[in-house]
Amino acid sequence: MKKPSDAQQNWSAEREKIIGLGERSLRKTYYPELQQKLDELERFRALLDQSNDCIFLLEAATLTFVDVNESACRQLGCSREEFISFPLGNFLPKEATARVENLVSSGPAQGWDQDTITTQMCKCSGEKLPVEITIRLVTFNKILYGVAVARDITERKRAEKALLENSRMLRDMELARQIQLSLLPTAPPKLPGVLLAGCCVPATHVGGDYYDYYERENGVVDMVIADVSGHSIGAALMTAEARSVLHAEVQSFSHTGDILASLNEILYNDLNQAELFITLFYVKYDTLTHTLTYSNAGHVSPLLTRNSGATCLKLDAEGLILGVKKGVSFEEKQLRMEKGDLLFLYTDGVTESRNSAGELFGLGRLCDLINARHAEPPQAIIDAVLEDVSAFTGTSALEDDVTMVAMKVV
């Protein structure tokens, strides 16, 4: 039989455990476990504070902040106290706040408990921060909360904008390429006593290179090679305009200098407004008299190789670039061509092509090649130049269009 004193002794022992007395107290039994839980909680809190994302705990019923991590305070420039004193709507646009309200009010009933919103959060300074917010509903002690994770997407938005601009630029460049190629002649005219050939190889960044032939009466043919500044659809459109004007002016003028002067007057305003200019070399050849007449508007000088001696001669005439000034006159020069003579017109994309070391192809290499092959047909010479330029540049992309026109007296 238990004595009353036994019950009292048992109660005293339990009491000592509860209040922390004695070697086997409850306090000493559970304190290490409680301390471990607190340490784990502190580590978890430190982990949240080290996150680059803004993390918020919201009371779903009121959409007020219960807690935020250190990253949210740092990125939005607000203290924890400031967050807790304002509702979510103070930091989000109306549309985004409505999305969160809809999630809270309708989500659980419809079987969905999270949403992702791309929006902007308002900093305490008033600045806007582009973010992607993922919010999930959770329940603690029968109270509904929202855990929101907001990620700064400033760099992503910047990259998306750059990608969009690049995509637009590529579309514009492709359109410019199509315009440019559509302006080129399909084949050179066939005239007795002369062979003609031409080509234009657009660079990665399409420019405004252009060449054309205009066949006149009585065995006369005009040739033009031009380079519009810039690498854009604007340059391509200006090339189209110049071509259209030239077709009309060829019928109105017989002198090459007059053609360029008229072309400059007509195009000046458009070139000036577009901040573009055109270099252009214009040639007229009479197959009956073998007279070559030419004028230059700031273009690179064509090369003439005489059959009598394989030496490159540079042809030039005084003339300003088109689109720089109104009321400009252009010098007109003449020379007589002999059988076997070769005239080679080109744009600076040929001589300024670079290899991987940054070295220019240069005029010297071009002259050496033309001198060595001057006896060949014009198309073969153009093909040889293209082959040499390609071999020289290797894997380096062309920085400018490569355009050539060759004429040989036969």
According to the model, what pLDDT value does residue 193 have? Answer: 95
Which structure tokens are listed for 10?
């048992």
Range of the domain at 65: 43-152
Q: Which of 132, 152, 172 finishes a domain?
A: 152
> Is residue 128 in some structural domain?
yes
Specify whether 339 is located in the same domain as 204: yes
d(C-alpha 274, C-alpha 271), whole Å: 5
171-191 tens-digit pLDDT: 877 777 777 778 889 999 999
The chain-wide mean pLDDT, for the chain, equals 86
If you search the block for the tokens 């999270």, which residue do you land on?
114
pLDDT value at 30 more than 70: no
According to the model, what pLDDT value does residue 219 have? Answer: 93
d(C-alpha 137, C-alpha 134), whole Å: 10
If you search the block for the tokens 């009292």, which residue do you land on?
8
Specify whether 179 is located in the same domain as 53: no
pLDDT value at 69 more than 70: yes
The whole-model pTM stands at 0.65
Q: How confident is the model at residue 395 (pLDDT cuts 50, 70, 90)?
A: confident
According to the model, what pLDDT value does residue 179 have? Answer: 77
Distances (CA, A) of 98 to 66, 115, 130, 134, 162: 19, 12, 18, 14, 31
Specify whether 64 is located in the same domain as 205: no
Q: Which of 152, 177, 206 finishes a domain?
A: 152
> Is residue 9 in some structural domain?
no
78: CB partners within 8 A, 6+ apart: 72, 123, 124
Domain count of the fold of the chain? 2
> Is residue 142 in some structural domain?
yes
